Amino acid sequence: MAIDTLDPRSWLYPTPRGLYCKPGDFYIDPAVAVSRAVITHGHGDHARPGHRAALATSETLAIMRARFEGMPDTSQQPLKYGESVRVGEVDVQLVPAGHILGSAQAVLEYRGQRIVVSGDFKRRPDPTCPPFEPVPCDVFITEATFALPVFHHPSDMGEIGKLLRSVATFADHTHLVGVYSLGKCQRVIKLLRAAGWDKRIWLHGSLLSLCKLYQDHGVDLGDIAHVSDAILETFKGAIVLCPPSAIADRWARRFAEPIPAVCSGWMSVRARARQSGAELPLIISDHADWPELTQTLKDVGAPKVWVTHGREEALVHYARSIGIDAEALHLAGREEEGA
Ligand SMILES: [Zn+2]
Ligand SMILES: [Zn+2]
């Protein structure tokens, strides 16, 4: 069969278990346990326990072991960024996605055709992982979490500046900052360090193990400590990180008049910010905003784009307007963790 007549849908297509690559006999980020999975990154809607075999970056496999009690029943195959391995009749490569530690795009090649499954990604710099690398391809599968022209995330250092100004202004209060445990937490710590905050950063217990994992992978988080270890600490003027759900929890009552903040791309949506209980909503996202998404379509130059994972219609419409053959791809089991 000639390359240009090979229908990409004939070898990579959605099934109820997830996106299936037929000539490689594997699933990418499947929604259920399967015999062979390629995992783009450690977030819960992409990495699930129970696969018989999992191929991912060693960082992603470490995150999965931390979350899934070691995964003793899964045969784990680490693949370095940029290295290629043959699975069945398909060459598989993992390329940085710039989303969280270990996050990768899966680059699949079969009979001269290249499909890139980008997983979740963003384009702006993140001190906890290497930046997204655009890979020229025949089909690009993109996420669409923030795929509306209204989504323009501000600069993350500007948002961190807002937090630090509030800490300086309300020096008798505790700033309680809601962050998701995988990725957002460690990135916010690194951003605080880059902005000059070198004091101890306090952590809710549920954030400890993944911070340790990041440190073990060479991400220097500076002076961090568990809130429960502080017996005589008043937390006045302190920055305390916790999961967003803990802000309204009994746990938060130990702090006198805390000022709640939440870091998420969704904080640009007023209703979501209000719902989160954040007095200080900080727009810090691990996903591409509209300008990043549209720039990425131009950078990879794929004649075909499949859009998944969010607001498909707007991005499909945009892609078609610039001559790309675009369609929505509906995948099972995608819900956002830590946007
Ligand atoms: Zn993710
Ligand atoms: Zn996701």
Could you read off the pLDDT of 169-187 as tens digits, one per residue?
A: 999 999 999 999 999 999 9
Distance 279 CA to ligand 1 centre (A): 25
Q: Which residues contact 229 (CB under 8 A, 6 or more apart)?
A: none
Distance 44 CA to ligand 1 centre (A): 8
Q: What is the pTM of this model?
A: 0.95
Q: Which residues contact 3 (CB under 8 A, 6 or more apart)?
A: 111, 112, 113
Is the pLDDT confidence value at 4 over 80? no
Distance 312 CA to ligand 2 centre (A): 14
Q: What is the rounded CA–CA span in Å between residue 55 and residue 58? A: 9
- Which pLDDT does position 2 carry in this prediction? 46
Other Cβ atoms closer than 10 A to 194: 12
Distance 117 CA to ligand 2 centre (A): 12
3-state secondary structure of 194: helix
Using CB atoms within 10 Å of the CB of residue 162, give its burial: 0 to 12 exposed, 13 to 18 middle, 19+ buried. Answer: middle
Q: Which ligand is nearest to the CA of 183?
A: 1
Q: What is the dihedral of CA 48, 127, 264, 209, to 10 degrees?
A: 50
84-107: average pLDDT: 98
The confidence band for 1, taking pLDDT boundaries of 50, 70 and 90, is: very low
Q: What is the rounded CA–CA span in Å between residue 178 and residue 95? A: 30
Distance 335 CA to ligand 2 centre (A): 6
Q: Which ligand is nearest to the CA of 336?
A: 2
Q: How many CA atoms lie within 13 A of 317 on its CB side?
A: 8
Could you read off the pLDDT of 277-293 as tens digits, one per residue?
A: 999 999 999 999 999 99
Is the pLDDT confidence value at 220 over 60? yes
Distance 99 CA to ligand 1 centre (A): 7
- How much is the mean pLDDT over the chain? 95
Using CB atoms within 10 Å of the CB of residue 166, give its burial: 0 to 12 exposed, 13 to 18 middle, 19+ buried. Answer: middle
Distance 88 CA to ligand 1 centre (A): 27
Distance 13 CA to ligand 2 centre (A): 18
| Candidate from 12-21, 125-134, 153-162, 305-314 with smallest mean pLDDT | 305-314
Contact 98, 131 (CB under 8 A): yes
Distance 237 CA to ligand 2 centre (A): 34
**Token pair of 328 as six digits:** 């929505």
Q: Which ligand is nearest to the CA of 122?
A: 1
Distance 178 CA to ligand 2 centre (A): 19
The confidence band for 339, taking pLDDT boundaries of 50, 70 and 90, is: low
Contact 211, 181 (CB under 8 A): no
Distance 64 CA to ligand 2 centre (A): 15
Sign of the torsion formed by the C-alpha atoms of 62, 335, 26 and 104: negative
**Token pair of 291 as six digits:** 């300008």
Distance 75 CA to ligand 1 centre (A): 23
Other Cβ atoms closer than 10 A to 332: 13
Distance 182 CA to ligand 1 centre (A): 9
**Token pair of 199 as six digits:** 């004091």
Is the pLDDT confidence value at 335 over 70? no
Distance 285 CA to ligand 1 centre (A): 10
Cα-based angle 116, 290, 280 (whole degrees, multiple of 5)? 120
**Token pair of 310 as six digits:** 């969010």
